[in-house]
Amino acid sequence: EAGVTQSPTHLIKTRGQQATLRCSPISGHTSVYWYQQALGLGLQFLLWYDEGEERNRGNFPPRFSGRQFPNYSSELNVNALELEDSALYLCASSTDRNQPQHFGDGTRLSIL
């Protein structure tokens, strides 16, 4: 069974640009979660999508947004990039709410 896949592996942007990160959940999983793992910090919850709807949001500004497509894949968009947005962005999926979350290997976003 294929795990959660994320693309690209690494993304380099400059301040003020916009970034789009993609996630394909495990087959059969309908919930997708996004987390930010900044250097030296733990994982911070960003967003949760289930059945195409945003269900919960972490303490991040509105320039962090996303969506979930009918095939349950998801995009994370970050607008007006700032230097502190440099981090590993992890996507996780689960079969349903309140079920174990399984993570992909992340997208490393570097802001120059």
Partner 1 sequence: QQQVKQSPQSLIVQKGGISIINCAYENTAFDYFPWYQQFPGKGPALLIAIRPDVSEKKEGRFTISFNKSAKQFSLHIMDSQPGDSATYFCAAEPYNTDKLIFGTGTRLQVFP
For residue 39, state whether it binds partner 1 (rule: CB under 8 A): no
Helix (H) or strand (E) holding 37: strand 31-37
- Going residue by residue from 71 to 110, which x/- string records binding to partner 1, judged by CB under 8 A? -------------------x-x-x--xx-xxxxxxx----
Q: What are the tokens at 97?
A: 């709410």
Q: Minimal distance in Å, beta carbon 35 to partner 1? A: 8
Which of 11, 22, 45, 60 lies at the binding interface for partner 1 (CB under 8 A)? Answer: 45
Q: How many residues bind partner 1 (CB under 8 A)?
A: 26
* 31-65 burial: b if 16+ Cβ within 10 Å, else e: bbbbbbbeeeeeeeebbbbbeeeeeeeeebeeebb
Q: Look at residues 72, 69, 79, 73 and name the one whose alpha carbon lies nearest to residue 20.
A: 79
Kindly list the residues in this chain that would bind partner 1 in the complex (CB under 8 A).
Answer: 4, 31, 33, 35, 41-45, 48, 50, 55-56, 58, 90, 92, 94, 97-98, 100-106
